[in-house]
């Protein structure tokens, strides 16, 4: 089931046609938008925009977790790294990939930095 979820989520993230409807808000914006409104090293609380983007990223991960918990009884632990580390990952991804969507950065955060855990009973 994990493979199906990963493939489904990945296909939504990779398809420009679906990104307009499957992902909305800041996640549907290209990284160059974030790059234009941030300075590396200033943190996620730099301004209202950066706070909003970070909130969107954590909401996105939370949404993925709701699906994952229902299907697999697992989740990606947002406390595995600090919010500052999450933000640094997002900003670094966007600086390296300005034409990718912010949702792609969030997706990469999930699979490269967060720890997958089993729901304890």
pLDDT at 16: 47
Number of domains in the chain: 1
Cβ partners under 8 Å of residue 22, min gap 6: 12, 15
* Residue 87 and residue 49 in contact, taking contact as beta carbons nearer than 8 Å: no
pLDDT at 28: 92
Give one DSSP letter per residue of 14-30, joined into a string: H-HHHHHHHS-GGGGSB
CA-CA distance, 8 to 14, in Å (whole number)? 10
Spell out the per-residue pLDDT of the chain, length 121, in tens: 444 444 344 444 444 444 445 788 999 999 999 999 988 788 897 788 999 999 999 999 999 999 999 999 999 999 999 999 999 999 999 999 999 999 999 999 999 999 999 987 6
pLDDT at 22: 75
pLDDT at 111: 94
Domain containing residue 114: 2-118
pTM above 0.85, yes or no: no
Q: What percent of the chain has pLDDT over 90?
A: 68
pLDDT at 21: 59
Q: Provide the angle, in degrees to the nearest 10, between the axes of the packed helices 102-112 and 83-96.
A: 120
């Amino acid at each position: 089931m994990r493979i199906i979820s990963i493939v489904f989520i990945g296909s939504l993230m990779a398809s420009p046609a679906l990104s307009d409807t499957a992902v909305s808000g800041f996640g549907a914006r290209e990284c160059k938008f974030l790059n234009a409104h941030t300075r590396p090293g200033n943190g996620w609380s730099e301004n209202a925009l950066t706070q909003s983007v970070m909130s969107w990223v954590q909401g996105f991960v939370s949404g993925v977790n709701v699906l994952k918990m229902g299907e697999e009884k697992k989740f990606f632990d947002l406390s595995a790294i600090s919010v500052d580390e999450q933000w640094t990952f997002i900003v670094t991804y966007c600086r390296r990939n300005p034409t990718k969507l912010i949702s792609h950065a969030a997706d990469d955060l999930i699979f490269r930095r967060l720890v997958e855990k089993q729901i304890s009973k």
